[in-house]
Amino acid sequence: MKTKPLDAIHYEIVKLGVEDLRKGMFVAELDRPWRETPFLFEGFEIETDADLAAVKQYCHFVYIDLGRTQAVRVRLEQDLPKTFTTGKPSTSLEQEMVAAEASKIQTSKLVKSFQDELRFGNSVDVNLAKSAVSQCVASILRNPDAMMFMTQMKEKSLHSSAHAFNVCIYSIILGRLCGLRAEELENLGTCGLLHDIGNIDIPNLILNKKTALNADEFALVKRHTTYGRDILMSARTIYSGTVDVAYGHHECLDGSGYPRQLVDYQINRNTRIVAVVDKYAALTRNTPYRPAHNHLDAVNLLTALADANKIDKALCATFLSYLGFYPPGTIVELNSGEVALVLKSNQGNRLRPQLLVVRDAEKNPVERVLDLATRPVDEKHRAYKIKTVHLPEYLGIDLSQHQYALIQAYD
């Protein structure tokens, strides 16, 4: 067992039965006082079968810290609706990137304006949010890859509007994969955009704390769900679904979530969808208290939560299968030492996507297209392979700086 610094991901401490534990998970709390067990440290990573056996001997359940949990496994075999995933976009990426960027700016400004209104004691007009979200829905239906690139754009700040936008977009995409109609997608996207509106009543000193929260601070953070419910219930022209999602997006199917410990049948479809994508968006986002997880580590963590009946397993599998191993905009390093941005997946071989190489082996700036599905070789006649996935800020690479080349190569 090894310990790590206390830099926990504040929102993602989850309760697991010991039968669901796996090597790589970080145990943050036990179901009993630490002094009643032989464990030397208050917080440890499960590294061996012996570690697993020891925890199972003394505990019925424990609390896992996702921020310090290592990769578990990747499973992306779910079949997806062909009409959405392989149908030809009705607009080019170049056309749609303009609309997608405008929608991102509009929705982000709207979230900030809502927060300002609430700080001055005013209510919010949910219909304004729904109107902005409708533009996001229209863009995704025309060409979903443009919005996916928007979610990968590096943010210059940690403002919560970026997270709200990403959850909105991911919710719409997952809803579309589930066969929802345009109006249903607008409602769902509005739920995603406003799911964390209750954070406005949590002190910034706590939300931006760089070290682990104590029990009282964590209890206060958990109240953002109740605050969100109250804010949206008092909003003008309310859409009731936003209340359900703001109040319930931290509930777990096994009843271990908060604030009401709801179980499977008590959690509605929109809340389940937002719960899945919110966790992915949170894990892949930089925060004051931890750096972002890369995509594959986030996949592993979500898969573990689904297997433990925390989030909807079918929805999780559908969403992760759509993202694939390498979503558009992901930064990858090749076995040659070159670094590239993922353009798009090859449907016949999702492990070998189309790439835009942006750094050569010496990490000097370049721009050239490389399609791994054609099985190209480097100058030493070695077949190109993806060696690792990097975080968005790797080498200072900014997707927006390569937007023109991405568009030209994509189309």
Q: Is residue 73 part of a domain?
A: no
What is the pLDDT, as a whole number, of residue 129?
86
Residues 386 and 290 in one domain: no
- H-type helices in 19-125, by residue range? 49-58, 82-85, 93-119
Output the pLDDT for position 47.
Answer: 80
Residues 62 and 125 in one domain: no
Q: What is the pLDDT of residues 165-186, one digit of tens each?
A: 999 999 999 999 998 999 999 9
- Tell me what pLDDT residue 76 has: 46
Mean pLDDT for 249-268 is 93
- H-helix segments, 143-262: 144-152, 160-177, 182-194, 204-207, 215-222, 224-233, 240-248
- Is residue 74 in a domain? no
- Rounded Cα–Cα distance for residues 311 and 309 (Å): 6
Does residue 4 fall inside a structural domain? no
Shared domain for 314 and 344, answered yes or no, is no
**Per-residue confidence at 366, pLDDT binned at 50, 70, 90?**
very high
* Mean pLDDT of the 31-41 span: 81
The answer on 86 and 47 residing in a single domain is no
Quick: pLDDT tens for 188-203: 999 999 999 999 998 8
pLDDT attached to residue 11: 44
Flag whether 2 is in a domain: no
DSSP string covering 106-149, please? Answer: HHHHHHHHHHHHHHTT---BHHHHHHHHHHHHHHHHH-HHHHHH
Confidence at residue 6, expressed as pLDDT on a 0 to 100 scale = 35
Q: Model pTM?
A: 0.79
- CA angle in degrees (0–180, nearest 5) for 88-91-97: 120
Q: In which band, very low, low, confident or very high, does the pLDDT at 251 lie, cut at 50, 70 and 90?
A: very high
For the chain, the maximum distance between any two Cα atoms, rounded to a whole number of angstroms, is 66
Residues 340-346, mean pLDDT to the nearest whole number: 86
Mean pLDDT in residue range 359-381: 89
Residues 278 and 396 in one domain: no
Mean pLDDT of the chain: 84
Q: Tell me: pLDDT of 77 over 50.
A: no
Give pLDDT, residue 12.
62
Same-domain check for residues 200 and 223? yes
Q: Is 57 exposed, middle or buried (0-12, 13-18, 19+ CB in 10 A)?
A: exposed
pLDDT at 156: 56
Say yes or no: 93 and 45 in one domain. Answer: no
Residues 34 and 104 in one domain: no
How many domains does one find in the chain? 3
> Does 248 fall in a domain?
yes
Q: For residue 309, give the nearest of 373, 242, 264 by alpha carbon.
A: 264
Asked whether residue 350 falls in the same domain as residue 201, the answer is no
Q: What is the CATH number of the domain that holds 171?
A: 1.10.3210.10
Residues 112 and 250 in one domain: yes
Q: Which domain holds residue 359?
A: 331-410
Mean pLDDT of 219-223: 92
Average pLDDT over residues 104-110: 88
For residues 208 and 100, state if they share a domain.
yes
| 193 and 147 assigned to the same domain | yes
- Mean pLDDT of the region 280-309: 87
- 206 found inside a domain: yes
Is position 1 within any domain? Answer: no
Cα(112)–Cα(70) distance, rounded to whole angstroms? Answer: 34
